């Protein structure tokens, strides 16, 4: 019996992303494909290579745009990401609106009163993230400042944003289109004398380790399922090459999780008394005897004065806020795999494991163990 001919697959990316290549590679290995990825590494247009299928992301160079649009008319093609190229091909994308919603919910939890979304493109993903961000803020009665930095401004992002800062309110919670933009925003803010995260809290998207973990400041970011997205795109291409019509023209995957880091690690309290109380709570989270009277005594105010301060500034009670601080710290430790759940509960000031589990279930809708499995990175 003659050996079955291996499918020849062309990969063209508009940007280098290891996770996308890992997803394509994993499926290609399983399917026994022959892959041409020269365009990825050399930026060349592979005009002479005969392909059975094309896997691509959005591309931006005019020659690559022309090539991808042309070949997609004659060869089965699947796009990884939103369909900015307007291809008549199926695509696999992330729920971009949910990314914006996640960013807004996180900044609202940090008690921000002013919010901005900064983007440097009008691509579909950027506009959808803005829509989701605005949606959650609107539900909370808050407005969003739409900061759009595009090519016609004629200057670099850093310089442009430094000029913009003089027009923006403090403190500000800002959602940047991606991690690279978030990093440039932080540098520009530092140059302008703004304190991050106390005066400017910044969230990015993509969870790029080199940027988020190893830059001048650890950046809070939203992780996206890029590898799984790529794997599913390759599986869809395989079905197309076998003559199968896709059940859905667009497959949408949820974002993975929000990884909170130092760039948003500050609760925006305006009242000096509340700031002192929060600082005291943060340093003594592991103390089981930490309660409202102890906080009030440390701050030199009456219990009523402490409650009034929290209610007027953060619209909550001191003990409800303390519980949020403990849960936030517990989630950080769970995500980083710092010991067993019971030990984490004790380290964060919960009297016992059962109390921690009940509190976590009530706030997050799941158990600490299940949450940990879904949020490790």
What fold does the segment set 272-375 form as a domain? Arc Repressor Mutant, subunit A (1.10.10)
In the predicted model, what is the mean pLDDT of residues 7-21? 89
Alpha helices by DSSP H, listed for 14-171, are: 18-31, 38-42, 62-71, 96-109, 124-139, 157-165
Rounded CA gap, 276 and 321, in Å? 13
In the prediction, which pLDDT does 326 show?
A: 87
Structure tokens at 153: 């401004």
**Count of C-beta atoms within a 10 Å radius of residue 265:** 18
Question: pLDDT category, 215, cuts 50, 70, 90?
Answer: confident
Domains 8-93+226-253 and 96-224+259-264 in one fold: yes
In the block, residue with structure tokens 């599986």: 235
Domain residue limits, the chain: 8-93+226-253, 96-224+259-264, 272-375
Q: Tens digits of per-residue pLDDT, 105-129?
A: 999 988 788 999 999 888 999 999 9
Rounded CA gap, 371 and 377, in Å? 12
In the predicted model, what is the mean pLDDT of residues 345-359? 85
CATH of the structural domain 8-93+226-253, one choice from 1.10.1840.10, 3.30.70.1450, 3.40.50.2300, 3.40.50.150: 3.40.50.2300
Rounded CA gap, 366 and 361, in Å? 5
Task: For domain 96-224+259-264, say whether CATH 3.40.50.2300 is its number.
Answer: yes
Question: pLDDT category, 335, cuts 50, 70, 90?
Answer: confident
Q: Which of 25-34, 64-73, 105-114, 333-342 has the weakest average pLDDT?
A: 333-342
In the prediction, which pLDDT does 270 show?
A: 67
> Is beta strand 220-223 parallel, antiparallel or unpaired with respect to 250-253?
unpaired
């Amino acid at each position: 019996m003659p050996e079955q001919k291996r499918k020849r697959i062309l990969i063209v990316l508009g940007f280098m992303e290891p996770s996308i290549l890992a997803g394509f590679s994993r499926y290609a290995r399983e399917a026994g494909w022959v892959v041409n990825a020269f365009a990825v590494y050399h930026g060349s247009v592979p005009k002479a290579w005969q392909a059975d299928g094309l896997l691509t992301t959005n591309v931006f160079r005019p020659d690559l745009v022309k090539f991808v649009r042309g070949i997609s008319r004659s060869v089965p093609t699947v796009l990884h990401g939103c369909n900015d190229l307007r291809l008549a091909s199926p695509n696999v994308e992330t729920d971009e609106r949910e990314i914006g919603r996640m960013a807004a919910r996180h900044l609202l939890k940090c008690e921000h009163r002013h919010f901005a979304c900064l983007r440097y493109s009008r691509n579909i993903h950027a506009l959808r993230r803005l829509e989701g961000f605005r949606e959650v803020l609107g539900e909370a009665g808050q407005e969003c400042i739409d900061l759009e930095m595009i090519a016609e401004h004629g200057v670099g992002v850093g310089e442009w944003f430094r000029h913009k800062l003089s027009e923006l309110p403090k403190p500000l919670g800002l959602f940047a289109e991606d991690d690279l933009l978030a990093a440039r925003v932080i540098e520009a803010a530092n140059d302008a004398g703004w304190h991050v995260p106390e005066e400017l809290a910044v969230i990015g998207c993509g969870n790029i380790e080199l940027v988020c973990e190893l830059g001048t400041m650890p950046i809070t970011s939203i992780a996206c399922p890029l590898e799984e997205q790529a794997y599913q795109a390759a599986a869809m291409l395989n079905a197309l090459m076998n003559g199968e019509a896709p059940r859905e023209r667009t497959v949408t995957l949820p974002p993975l999780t929000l990884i909170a880091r130092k760039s948003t690690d500050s609760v925006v309290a305006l009242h000096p008394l509340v700031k002192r109380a929060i600082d005291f709570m943060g340093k003594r989270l592991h103390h089981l005897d930490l309660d409202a009277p102890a906080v009030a005594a440390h701050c030199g105010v009456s219990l009523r004065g402490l409650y009034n301060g929290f209610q007027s500034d953060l619209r909550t009670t001191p003990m409800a806020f303390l519980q949020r601080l403990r849960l936030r710290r517990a989630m950080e430790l769970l995500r980083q795999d710092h010991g067993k759940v019971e030990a984490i509960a004790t380290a964060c000031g919960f009297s016992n494991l059962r109390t921690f589990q009940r509190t976590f279930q009530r706030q997050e809708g799941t158990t600490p163990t299940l949450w940990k499995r879904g949020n490790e990175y």
